[in-house]
Structure 1
Amino acid sequence: MRYTKEIFEILSRGGFISQNSISQQRAHLYDAIEDDFQQYQEYYEGIGFLLEGGNGYYYFSRTESKVELADKIQRMIGWIDRLDFLKTFNSTFGSGFSFRKSNILEKFSSDIELKEKARHLYADLKTNDEKMDKLIADMERQGFIELENDLDGTYKVTAAFHYIEELIDCLTIIETEQE
């Protein structure tokens, strides 16, 4: 277990380590965790973190109080809208998908539904350009995308994107009748 510090620095900030990361360092860390998962899991559990694995990615989780859980659910509402927007942009948007901000902005001119969904993203921002900058920054900060080509602004969706897809798929909305 040679990479406990490097792994902790990424995962403790809410990041992900993805199998298909563009960063060779992160891909190497993924392989290290994959090879010694049990040892890493026990080590981090000893300092209060739960190392979890998903479909091609690793992350930390922890037991949360009801208040913390309620806050997390509120944050998820924003990601539901973002995921809906991205799937409207391209239904195949997911792990391994590559895109440029300009691709999304171009599609606004021909897709009224996409333009409507963008209106609900980041209500405090006025232009679609600002909204796409914020969306890309949020996804990059979370580790859901990585800059693949700095020259043309191409981003690649990492395996960590499965996390948000799976989490939203698990949500069940129960309607109750009011009397």
Structure 2
Amino acid sequence: MNIPPEHTDDIFDFLRKGHFISEDSRDETMRNWFRIIDDGNNYETLCEYFSMLNLSLEEGKGYYYLSQKEEKSDIERKIKQAYKWIDILDFLKAYGRSSNLLFMQGTIFSASQISVQCNINHVLKEKLDGLINYLEDLVISINIEEGTKDAISE
């Protein structure tokens, strides 16, 4: 492995906080760090160096940033989790529309009200049926009130 360039510790401290180093930054230090990374084989050296920390130095058009290396299975799991919550929110928003409720902070949903609406509205029933895969995570009676820390309860 090549010796990391000067200011590697400063570059790391800055990037690990989720910041970008840009070639057109107003800050002269940032522009200098960009030139250091961009110079010769420093990018490859830093990529190798950061990979030992399970981090990946990513290059964009005129900028650099750090990302965590993740297994493909972890990424897929996170995407599935996001889809699940999108489906749940889609159902609750559709329920709110069919019940003439405004889905916002302070809106209260109850299982009995949802059941009644699903018997009336077949589209809503289909959406609820689609959530059956998430049933163990989904306990429908959401109370989104200001100051409430437990957002989901039965």
TM-score range (shorter-chain normalised) is 0.3 to 0.5
If the length of structure 1 is used for normalisation, what is the TM-score?
0.38
Higher relative contact order (Cα pairs below 8 Å, separated by 6+ residues): 1
- Relative to the length of structure 2, the TM-score reads 0.43
